[in-house]
Structure 1
Amino acid sequence: MQTRFLDGFVMPETTTRLTKRAVDQALPGPSRYILWDSDISGFGIRIETSGKKTYIVRYRPKGLGRTAPKRFMTIGRHGHLTPDQARAQAQNILGAVAVGSDPAAQVAAAKAAMIVKDAIDLYLKEHVNPKRKERTALEYTSALKRHVIPEIGNRPAEKVTRADLLKLHHKMKDSPIQANRTLSIVSSLYTFLGKREIVPEGYNPVRGIDKYPEQGRERYLTSEELGRLGAALIEAETIGLPWQVDETKPKAKHLAAPENRRTKPEPAAIAALRLLLFTGARLREILHLRWQEVDLERGMAFLPDSKTGRKPLMFSNVALEVLKSLPKNSVYVIEGAKKDQPRADLKKPWAAIQLRASLEGVRLHDLRHTFASIGTGASLGLPIVGKLLGHTQPRTTARYAHLDADPLRRAADLISTQISSAMERA
């Protein structure tokens, strides 16, 4: 028997032997429907309007009587399972029902029993760690374990409400960017849980929560600040940076003479800071750069795995001079503490340089912003600056558009000059 819909769509027979050919030929209709198997009673495939096809099994628990409602269990998606594999699973489920089990109730109880902490462990193990970059995985892990688990870790995952997450979001109001980021991570967690059918698909308690407004964190060094930074770098690599000594402390008199109270940062650290300035690269792109990726003759490097995937890194003449000055004692351009290991960070040398140059509050990442601001201010064009920075999306570079003042200034000059000339003629 066939069912014809009002728009002329003809649904395949509602009962047929479920073979691969029969399932592949089953077309979506204006509403979802179930195509039942003719061989095994209760085994079928649900076809959504989107075309999604899911194997299911329907049964009535033994001993509850013929008036008891039937239960449905999802077996799996067509494509992930063949009809024969799904049929075998259906037979196992129906066999368990025949001896008095209620598989759907058992699965429902197991899902309801999964608490948020266990759901997070599963999410990190099966989704985040294998599919996200290492630093992103660390960020996800930190946010979930520092903020989410202490707040709702022991709650059943399916029982978490929007009110629970509003409370968590409010507690983090003093760190709005971190609060918003945590919400996004929890949203991703629930999308994963829905796909695993641990919570109902589409259930996401984050939905509908307004995020805090975020102030832009871009900081651009002025020409005068760049001058102070350059002077501090030269001082650091020549005579060293002066110690910060409180002469009022009793132990100050036992220190070296004032003219000897200087420390030279490691040359590799100073070189790394210069490369960050001259390339606009991200910190890890410089610290993890290997000599085998550098082509000095062509003035570029080919990064196999940056934040945005594979990308070329262009070196200016001044950046090339920095590279040529470095020894090749390691596989890494910037030597780490251990041989052939990348340097972990630049926190201490940058703190010393930052203090000497009076650049309080300037982050290492602001050197990248400065590189971008100078490029856009020189009217090089956002596509070119975006290529240099390795942006994959134009909107990422577009945040620097307000710095491109030269075209606007020329336009303002042109308009005002014509107005002034007309006024003079009058």
Structure 2
Amino acid sequence: MMTERSIREAKAGDKAFILWDSQIKGLGAKIFPGGEKSFVLSYRVNGAKRLSTIARVSELSLKAARERAGQELVRIRSGETDPLERRREAREAPTVNDLWDRFLTEYAPERITLGRMTTGTLKDYRNQAHRYLLPVLGRMKVRDVRRTDIERMARIMAHVPVQRNRTLAFASRLFTVAEHWSLRANYTNPCRGVVRAREEPRDRILSDSELAALGKTLTSLADRYPVPVNVIRFASVTGFRIMEAAGIQWSNINFERGCVTLPQTKVGRQVRALPPAALELLKSMPRINDCDFVFTTTGKVSVAYKHLDEVFKMVCQKARIENVRMHDLRRTVATTAAGQGVGLTVLRDLLGHKTVQMAVRYARQADSAVAAAVEQTGGNIASAMGVKPKAKIVHIRKRRHG
């Protein structure tokens, strides 16, 4: 009978040998020539004899080894995968790096072809994967990633709440695809339940004086940076997303109808109306080397976002416009339109949003602008009438819950 003592006192020989247990058939302690000792389990699968290591003797008591061996035998007899096969599957199980590679080669191209993902979105995913996700999770097995691992990644992005939320959304999509490919059990997405960061709504709108300064500075730099300057001008009068503007192609412009077709946007293919100022700007652009892109510096591809961003920052610095981003041009167009009484449905189509709800926020900002105008107008009239307010009016913002 195999006992703790017999295992402990067993001496290594020239060849490995096994002490067999009399209680659990197939359980043994294998003694190696070097003196190492391990619990092993002998069993058969489809008539073939197998020998699987349970654990080192130093890591497990004989009682625990018997319990584990008994459990393994029950699983083997019930038809489950044998221990050696499970171990092989664990070694060969895909890592998050493997999942990302397959996402790039299989999932993303198909979704782009179907119009369910844009190349811009894929570019964002690449950035999020290489900067945040893969350095933390890349070498882990897909099936082993837990919510605590996702939270560990998220903590690295505590100082960039917007990027944190976007990366968590990307990671959630990645692990949902993993479930679809049976690389994880269904409904085990590790991103579920991870707290998103609070994002303060951005309501930066350029004033009339800032727009005047912007236009003047753009004119002064037009000879030096003609393409970026005209992209910024175009986005300023249309409300297009900056890369929608940069990617416009000659073949998609209909000057007679005053519109342009955008083959790929965040919500799919769209046809957008253009104001006269935008049409005149497009007509003034030269066509370079028969390139189909209107805004190009190489004659091969559209102007790069990095170049646009550099020029825009330079323009704002020279114009002394602070705390403004290129996307604020779109917000300015939207809020101006809402303030002029443009309906939500028209505003949705003007901006290329998918739902009316996306346009509501600009209408709310316009309400603030109207309130400010009412206060200023009332103040001027009161001053003219010699009426002075007895108390300073303080506007109380509604407290946000959540």
Contact 1:114–1:156 (8 Å) recurs in 2: yes
Per-residue deviation, 1:335: 4.0
Structure 1 vs Structure 2: percent identity of aligned residues?
Answer: 29
Residue 197 to residue 71, structure 1, CA distance change in 2 (3 Å):
farther
Residue 72 to residue 395, structure 1, CA distance change in 2 (3 Å):
farther
Mean CA deviation greater in 126-135 or 159-168: 126-135
Partner of 1:117 in structure 2?
Answer: 97
Q: What pairs with 1:104-143 in structure 2 (closer than 5 Å)?
A: 105=85, 109-110=89-90, 113-131=93-111, 132-143=117-128
Contact 2:248–2:295 (8 Å) recurs in 1: no
Residue 61 to residue 219, structure 1, CA distance change in 2 (3 Å):
farther
Partner of 2:324 in structure 1?
Answer: 362
Contact 1:292–1:331 (8 Å) recurs in 2: no
**Which amino acid in structure 2 is aligned with residue 206 of structure 1?**
C
Structure 1: segments with no counterpart, 5+ residues: 1-59, 74-101, 238-263, 417-426
**Which amino acid in structure 1 is aligned with residue 145 of structure 2?**
V
Residue 323 to residue 408, structure 1, CA distance change in 2 (3 Å):
closer
**Which amino acid in structure 1 is aligned with residue 185 of structure 2?**
P
Per-residue deviation, 1:129: 4.1
Matched, 1:295 2:265: no
**Which amino acid in structure 2 is aligned with residue 202 of structure 1?**
Y
Matched, 1:62 2:42: no
- Identify the structure with bigger relative contact order (alpha carbons < 8 Å, sequence gap 6+): 2
Per-residue deviation, 1:108: 7.5
Matched, 1:384 2:346: yes
Partner of 1:158 in structure 2?
Answer: 143
Matched, 1:348 2:310: yes
Per-residue deviation, 1:281: 0.9
Residue 184 to residue 393, structure 1, CA distance change in 2 (3 Å):
same
Partner of 1:209 in structure 2?
Answer: 194
Structure 2: distance between partners of 1:223 and 1:373: 13
Contact 2:204–2:324 (8 Å) recurs in 1: yes
Per-residue deviation, 1:375: 0.6
Contact 2:273–2:350 (8 Å) recurs in 1: yes
Partner of 1:174 in structure 2?
Answer: 159
Q: Deviations over 1:64-113 (max 9, x none)?
A: 9899443369xxxxxxxxxxxxxxxxxxxxxxxxxxxx699459824873
Per-residue deviation, 1:184: 1.6
Q: Deviations over 1:32-87 (max 9, x none)?
A: xxxxxxxxxxxxxxxxxxxxxxxxxxxx94359899443369xxxxxxxxxxxxxx
Contact 1:278–1:319 (8 Å) recurs in 2: yes
**Which amino acid in structure 2 is aligned with residue 62 of structure 1?**
N
Matched, 1:220 2:205: yes
SS at match of 1:71: coil
Contact 1:112–1:157 (8 Å) recurs in 2: no
Contact 1:111–1:199 (8 Å) recurs in 2: no
TM-score with structure 1 setting the length: 0.63
Contact 2:118–2:264 (8 Å) recurs in 1: no
SS at match of 1:405: helix
Contact 1:300–1:313 (8 Å) recurs in 2: yes
Partner of 1:395 in structure 2?
Answer: 357
Contact 2:272–2:349 (8 Å) recurs in 1: no
Per-residue deviation, 1:289: 1.1
Q: Deviations over 1:225-262 (max 9, x none)?
A: 1121122123334xxxxxxxxxxxxxxxxxxxxxxxxx
Contact 2:234–2:281 (8 Å) recurs in 1: yes
**Which amino acid in structure 2 is aligned with residue 355 of structure 1?**
Q
**Which amino acid in structure 2 is aligned with residue 381 of structure 1?**
G
Contact 1:303–1:310 (8 Å) recurs in 2: yes
Residue 149 to residue 383, structure 1, CA distance change in 2 (3 Å):
same
SS at match of 1:190: helix
Per-residue deviation, 1:280: 0.7
2:233 aligned to which of 262, 274, 291: 274
Residue 108 to residue 213, structure 1, CA distance change in 2 (3 Å):
farther
Q: Deviations over 1:4-57 (max 9, x none)?
A: xxxxxxxxxxxxxxxxxxxxxxxxxxxxxxxxxxxxxxxxxxxxxxxxxxxxxx
Per-residue deviation, 1:360: 2.7
SS at match of 1:309: coil
Partner of 2:245 in structure 1?
Answer: 286
Superposed CA RMSD in Å reads 3.1
Contact 2:293–2:301 (8 Å) recurs in 1: no
Residue 163 to residue 331, structure 1, CA distance change in 2 (3 Å):
same
Partner of 2:389 in structure 1?
Answer: none
TM-score with structure 2 setting the length: 0.67
Structure 2: segments with no counterpart, 5+ residues: 1-43, 50-72, 112-116, 379-402
Residue 408 to residue 228, structure 1, CA distance change in 2 (3 Å):
closer
1:71 aligned to which of 58, 79, 82: 79
Contact 2:118–2:265 (8 Å) recurs in 1: no
